[in-house]
Amino acid sequence: MTSITLDRVSVTLGRFTALSEVCAVIPSGQQTVVIGPNGAGKSTLVQTILGQLPHQGSLTFDPPNPRFGYVPQRLDFDRHMPLLVSEYLAMGLSLRPLWLGLGSGVKRRVYDALAQVKASDLADKPMGSISGGETQRVLLAAAMMTKPDVLVLDEPATGVDINGEQLLCELLDELKSEHTIVMVSHDLPTARAHADWVICLNRRVVAQGSPKDIFKTKVLVATFGLHQGQSEAFY
Amino acid sequence: MELLNPLYALAGLFYEPSFMRRAQVALLMLTLTTSAVGVLVVNRRMAFFPDAIGHSIFAGVALALILNLGVQPTVLVMGLLLGLLITFLSRRGHLAPDTVIGLVFSGAVALGLALVSREPQATSGLSRFFLGDVLTVSDEQVMALVILVVISAISLFFLTNPLTLGSIGPKVGPGRDWPDYLFGAYLAVVVMIAVQAVGVLLVTALLVTPAATGRLLTVSFKGMFWTALACGVAAGQIGLFASFQPSLNTSVGATVVIVNVLIFGLAAIFRRIFPARG
């Protein structure tokens, strides 16, 4: 399993400094949740880890060159495009074009991945007809099919109802024994309940540690700029 | 050209004149290609790409006359360069693809008009590209279309999944450029060849209408692809047959497009009565 170390990582987007000298450790085989206010650079951090943004400073993986699985906040696609869930998942596995149908090996892997995220019933549904929570589970299945060392999730529960969110958290709890998980979240109670390690980000790292250490009034006040009454509401 | 004899023999079951046999085989090859590639064009929202490339033919013909070059290779290279330019500008991400296509389209037409106004004899060379004429195709052109079908099958085999996945996401790691550039170049070649059969004005319909029909009738990618192929090929053959009837005696390209649109209309009525599942 892979650990990630960021040493004075800075990311500049045009003239805007999105991340400033971020120093953090993401431990292997645990679920790390990155929290912070809007504009704190959480998604920028995720994109940097995924190798999509140039950065200054040192970003190291141990062992090096890990495989990534990525679950975005939402999937922006043409919902009227004729595409079954099984076809969507198969595209990333094989070059065999969709118009020839799914090969038996690919089909088996697709159904296994859907079973792993408790979504076997979605295989023959059109992508445009499934709900937000179902889409997130399909994206999780797609990410898992690459057999990732590091699973990165960018606010995966946005727009998902409470049952869908609960199911997603349970799935991640099951997966963290086999993968290093990095998740961006706005949902502090969920982060508190499911994270093993928390990084508080506001363009720089304000604090990092176990949920027990992080979910204290003074840390939340420093990260989010909350007043005492607001931060106590999270207990 | 002996390779074409079995195809001509098959076409001979339907038509006696040799020009009709050539036209039938040419239309079969062309509609196989355009209907298949049209699925990716429609799903990637590139419906106006063929228009932009097709209209660059004005500039290509005028340039060929001014520089004393062969018309066919010049328009092909012109289309290829514009296809790559549209892909390059779209991938930079500063402008939406429809804006990029609009810009290149306007630029290509303006350049063509400017050159034609300088070189008035180019106007006569343009007319056959304006309307196209599948009834005048030569054996060499039919052979080129057969080769295009083979190239298309290979291209679509390797490009379908990367391009479809690329248009949906999510992206992990730095994006790969080569499928987009390859598709831009390939599509430009398809458009330039199709223009010679159905003309600049109708080339978009040949690519877009069968795919739109397939999209309306099916919920899977595989279903859309084969439905588009069946509708496109059927429209080509029905259109050719209808235009040959003395009572109609209409342009083949226009008749093929009208049949395509009629099939789409029937599909829309069918879908209205029997809504899609899911």
B98, B219, B226, B231: best to mutate for the A interface, most A CBs within 10 A: B219
Domain span at A155:
1-66+150-235
Candidates B173, B219, B222; nearest CB to A98: B222
Model confidence over A104-136: pLDDT tens digits? 999 999 999 999 888 999 999 999 999 888 998
Please name the residue of chain A whose CA is at the shortest distance from the CA of residue B44: A78
Nearest-CA distance from A231 to chain B in Å? Answer: 34
Q: Are residues A32 and A142 in the same domain?
A: no
One-character DSSP codes across chain B = -GGGHHHHHHHTTT--SHHHHHHHHHHHHHHHHHHHHHHHHHHTT-TTHHHHHHHHHHHHHHHHHHHT--HHHHHHHHHHHHHHHHHHHHHH-SS-HHHHHHHHHHHHHHHHHHHHHH-TTHHHHHHHHHH--GGG--HHHHHHHHHHHHHHHHHHHHHHHHHHHHHH----SSPP-HHHHHHHHHHHHHHHHHHHHH-TTTHHHHHHHHHHHHHHH-SSHHHHHHHHHHHHHHHHHHHHHHHHSTTT---HHHHHHHHHHHHHHHHHHHHHHSPPP-
Residue B208: the pLDDT is: 95
The CATH homologous superfamily to which domain B2-168+176-273 belongs is ABC transporter involved in vitamin B12 uptake, BtuC (1.10.3470.10)
User: Which of A148, A177, A197 is at the close of a domain?
Assistant: A148
Task: Look at chain A and report how many structural domains it folds into.
Answer: 2
- Give the closest-approach CA distance of B67 to chain A in angstroms: 43
pLDDT at A67 over 60: yes
pLDDT at A231 over 60: no
Same-domain status, A61 and A154: yes
Q: Do A27 and A48 reside in the same domain of the chain?
A: yes
Predicted pLDDT at B84: 92
- Flag whether residue B171 sits within 8 Å of chain A, measured between CB atoms: yes
Tell me the nearest-neighbour CA distance from B39 into chain A, angstroms: 10
A125/B222 touch (CB, cutoff 8 Å), yes or no: no
A16 plus A84 within the same structural domain: no
- What's residue A114's pLDDT? 94
Task: Taking residues A6-31, report their average pLDDT.
Answer: 90
Residues A59 and A106 in one domain: no
Global ipTM: 0.86
Q: What is the pTM of this model?
A: 0.86
| Domain limits, chain B | 2-168+176-273
Which of A68, A71, A99 would you mutate first to test chain B, the one with the most B CBs within 10 A? A99
pLDDT at res. B90: 86
Same domain, A231 and A169: yes
User: What's the CATH code of the domain at A177?
Assistant: 3.40.50.300
What number is the average pLDDT over the span A157-184? 84
Predicted confidence at residue A222, as pLDDT, reads 67
Same domain, A195 and A122: no
The residue of chain A with its CA nearest to that of B171 is A70
Does the pLDDT value for residue A235 go beyond 80? no
Kindly state whether A68 is in contact with chain B, defined as any CB-CB distance less than 8 angstroms: yes
Q: Is A59 on the interface with B (CB under 8 A)?
A: no
Report CB contact under 8 Å: A87, B221: yes
Q: Which of A96, A116, A148 is the last residue of a domain?
A: A148
Weakest-pLDDT range from A151-160, A213-222, B98-107, B232-241 = A213-222
Q: Where among A148, A176, A203 does a domain terminate?
A: A148
**Which residue of chain A has the CA closest to B217?**
A82
Are A143 and A175 in the same domain?
no
Q: Indicate whether A11 and A116 sit together in one domain.
A: no
What's the pLDDT at A61? 94
pLDDT of residue A227: 59
A98/B160 touch (CB, cutoff 8 Å), yes or no: yes
For chain B, 278 residues long, give each residue's pLDDT as a single digit of tens: 777 888 888 777 788 788 888 999 999 999 999 999 999 999 988 888 888 888 888 888 888 888 888 888 888 898 899 999 998 998 877 788 888 988 988 998 898 888 888 777 767 767 777 777 888 888 888 998 999 999 999 999 999 999 998 888 666 555 567 888 999 999 999 998 888 778 887 888 999 999 999 999 999 999 999 999 999 999 999 999 999 898 988 988 889 999 999 999 999 999 999 887 65
**How many CB contacts within 8 angstroms connect chain A with chain B?**
89
- Residue bearing the bigger pLDDT, A81 or B5: A81
